[in-house]
Amino acid sequence: MMLNTLSAFLAPSVVGPSAPSAYRGPLRLSRLAGLARHYFATSSIRSTTPTAPPPPPPPAGQARLTLYTGPQCDLCTVMRIEIEKAANVVPLALSTYNIRDDSLPDVAKWRRKYQYDIPVLHLDDKGEYSKIFRHRLKAEDLVKVIREAQAQEEVQTQPREPAT
């Protein structure tokens, strides 16, 4: 019943040119949905969660990771699962950054850099982020990288003995 109402409401001149050969029959719901997606699509997708302040620094000995993601990203979901497996072995703090959320700081920089590469995982190393994984990872590899970074940090923080 709704289909008849829609096709009666939308005359052939609204659907396309008024030439008889251009009329494609009544407007089907699938075609209407396609037209709606085309005309009402937006280039920026906002996150439904409010923007939170930056997370506090993690406790000593805990790795801080940032996962750059996007909406409806299946690889991001797989990577999150692997990160959760690694979190059972080594302590870590994970924050996610949606490169399609215009309300986040520096979104233009990260969107330009990673628009075709998500998911990307960064390790926060003394305030500087270093890219450690892109697209895929295994929990074992992540644990290995975190332990290497922690060992390197311990070596750098140990006081040096004066030379005699």
Segments making up each domain of the chain, as ranges: 64-152
The pTM of the full predicted model, rounded to 2 decimals, is: 0.57
CA dist 68 and 124 (Å) reads 13
Average pLDDT rounded to a whole number, residues 101-115: 84
Instruction: Specify the 3-state DSSP secondary structure of 153.
Output: helix
Residue with the bigger pLDDT between 45 and 144: it is 144
- Give the lowest-confidence range in 14-18, 76-80, 129-133: 14-18
CATH architecture of structural domain 64-152 = 3-Layer(aba) Sandwich (3.40)
Using CB atoms within 10 Å of the CB of residue 81, give its burial: 0 to 12 exposed, 13 to 18 middle, 19+ buried: exposed
